[in-house]
Structure 1
């Protein structure tokens, strides 16, 4: 390949050069000046004759240092930012634990110290606070409705009396402008459904301030 070439092979070349930070422009399948400069830089760094053109030696070396580009890479789709992992309390590091941090406003399912899934949560108000401590999942109720407030509590995992982890449509709609009556609300229905299916009665629950 050389200047003037076009097509999928050029896209693959540009994406691989981008993985190594040699090419920074949009991947367009057009072997222009920027692509030639990136190839030249790569060749010079690897002590390959600097031509700005891709011979078999250059291609083999580049392929050996990179992976096959994804469809998103080839189509200039920016990766979604990852949610930062929460800092775990020491009590969450052994066995299967539903780990809940008030300060970080996050819940994680942790197995032997490794986070399996993570989600945003909110808690009770000052008048109806969520209790801190070490508990266990007492019982589960997929389509629960509160006997006191008559509101839906789907995917409820009860861990301390009437307090449970559950999906909250109010949290989904209003965010942190509202609060629960002591429960741990989750606003992502798919995530809390996955949590419900992954957690068993008796699994440890840790609620902490930090």
Structure 2
């Protein structure tokens, strides 16, 4: 019975992969791009600067195509090339993540006196592994729980690992799953890490990063989740 209860809780993590079909655009699905908008968005200049376009605050055909390509790559909908708050929010987050460099625990919020630990900063959507004061891996971008399905904060431990986990409810693969809080787990997904609005609680990773976490972590290792995801 204990095993059944545990598997039932684990199945909840599948919600991290239940996303609209349009979110899988970055996975290589060919879709016809909608017509570009001619309207300049409220974040036109910021978006132009991010994309290396001439910063004039005016929407051009080239601007729109560049914005649209970014939106399509990261599953931002509608992908009509409009420089709105969602598009700029993704870009702004990317800038903040890049600024962290190789010192993700500069603020000292992830406890490093516990040996090996996987840290998850929800505010910056970053995760990394430390062993004491030594940075072992990362930081890497992650995709955590959306509004209403937030990844729960606090100190936890990895309690179950399944390299080829498949949800028995939705029949959705969750490769390299490492569960640390009920149905919430690290695992790989095939969408962009900046794909809004986020998961249903799990910490999504690229396949490369999920494989690295799999090789570096073990049952009983600590996981510390802190901060607050933008938009939640």
* Class of the TM-score when normalised by the shorter of the 2 chains: 0.5 to 0.7
Higher relative CO (Cα under 8 Å, sequence separation at least 6) belongs to 2
Confirm or deny that 1:124 pairs with 2:145. Answer: yes
- Per the normalisation by structure 2, the TM-score is 0.51
What does residue range 24-63 of structure 1 map to in structure 2 within 5 Å? none
Question: Can you give the 5+ residue segments of structure 2 that lack an aligned partner in the other structure?
Answer: 1-97
Where in structure 1 are there 5+ consecutive unaligned residues? Answer: 1-80
Q: What is the match of residue 164 of structure 1?
A: 185
Contact 1:92 1:99 in 2 (8 A): no
Aligned ranges 1:77-88 → 2 under 5 Å? 84-85=101-102, 86-87=104-105, 88=108
Q: How many Å apart are 1:82 and its aligned residue?
A: 9.6
The residue aligned with 1:182 is 201
Match of 2:158 in 1: 137
The corresponding residue for 2:216 is: 198
Cα separation, 2, equivalents of 1:137 and 1:116:
17
Contact 2:119-2:128 within 8 A present in 1 as well:
yes
Distance 1:169 1:89, change over 3 A: same
Change in CA separation of 1:90 and 1:195 when aligned onto 2, cut-off 3 Å: closer
2: CA distance, partners of 1:93 / 1:103: 22
Contact residue 110 and residue 224 of structure 2 kept, 8 A: no
SS in 2 for 1:195: helix
Aligned residues: 127
1:153 aligns with 2:174: yes
| 1:114-166 C-alpha deviation (Å, 9 max, x unpaired) | 11111110111112111001100001110111233332111111000110011
Q: CA deviation at 1:83?
A: 6.8
Q: Which has the larger radius of gyration?
A: 1
Corresponding residue for residue 11 of structure 2: none
- Partner residue of 2:86? none
**Higher alpha-carbon deviation: 105-114 or 91-100:** 91-100
